[in-house]
Amino acid sequence: MQKKASRRRSTTCRPNKRQIQKRRKFLEEGLTPLVEKYWFQRYDLFSRYDEGIKMDEQGWYSVTPEKIAITHAKRCENATVIDCFAGVGGNAIQFASMCYHVVAIEIDPLKLIWPLTMLKYIGVEDYIDFIVGDFFQLAPSLKGDIVFLSPPWGGPSYKWVKIFILDLLKPKDGYEIFQAAQAITPNIIMFLPRNVDLLQVEELCWLSSPPLQVEIEKNYVRSNLKGVTVYFGGTAASSQCGSS
């Protein structure tokens, strides 16, 4: 006796009207598939995204989420801050909102087009100076109270590395980047990948004599770990090097 073939119901979920509208809007902005998931998080990146925010592909996956950028800026009130790898200006905008003066350095001039427009819109353009150039060439002539470092992490592929070591940072390894900043001021803030080697990061404080104070902070957005911020020198809490 032959068994009748059973019919299986399709489990494919059709997108609802809201999802279709979001997808259509994404396509209308002419963005690439690589940045689609970041686009759906756009209001976490910039709460005022609909007021003319524009970014290139690299900017989408490298900009600091606004909530975290505000946390960084609160450590820098009433200070002159040097943002050494400004990118599309996510941190620079928040620094300008709370600090007396910000020097934002970016090697790619095209990335600075929209932050300038946004700063004028919110009325803080007088608090920031953009410099197009290489941080390592400019470092010997820079002066400031705090140096902020958020160097390129190497693109979205950093997530697939089990332990992210400082050698993977761009355009130079983390030790060289830190030492260039240290020549300006011992008060340094570094924003690094969530999977960074924390023991290796803490060792940076020993590059100074006496060793710098250090504080390590994990940064979350909507309960998701997005990165790690390391505060050195006067930006840190009271933890001594090697005791955090």
* 106-160 pLDDT tens trace: 999 988 877 777 777 677 888 999 999 999 999 999 999 999 999 999 999 999 9
Residues 166 and 151 placed together within one structural domain of the fold: yes
Q: Is the pLDDT of residue 244 over 60?
A: no
Nearest to 82 by CA among 103, 99, 98: 103
Report the number of distinct structural domains present in the chain.
2
Kindly indicate the confidence band of residue 9, based on its pLDDT and cuts at 50, 70 and 90: low
- 10 located within any domain: no
pTM over 0.85: yes
- Find the angle CA(207)-CA(209)-CA(211) to the nearest 5 degrees: 70
In a domain, 26, yes or no: yes
Residue 151 lies in a domain: yes
Range of the domain at 140: 64-236
Q: Once rounded to an integer, what is the mean pLDDT over residues 153-168? A: 95
- Across the range 70-82, mean pLDDT stands at 94
Whether residue 174 sits in one domain with residue 131? yes
Mean pLDDT computed over 218-233: 97
Token pair for 240: 């001594």
CB proximity list for 226: less than 8 A, separation 6 or greater: 65, 68, 194, 219, 220
Are 168 and 92 within one domain? yes
* Identity at 203, one-letter amino acid code: E
Mean pLDDT of the chain: 88
* pLDDT at residue number 112: 82
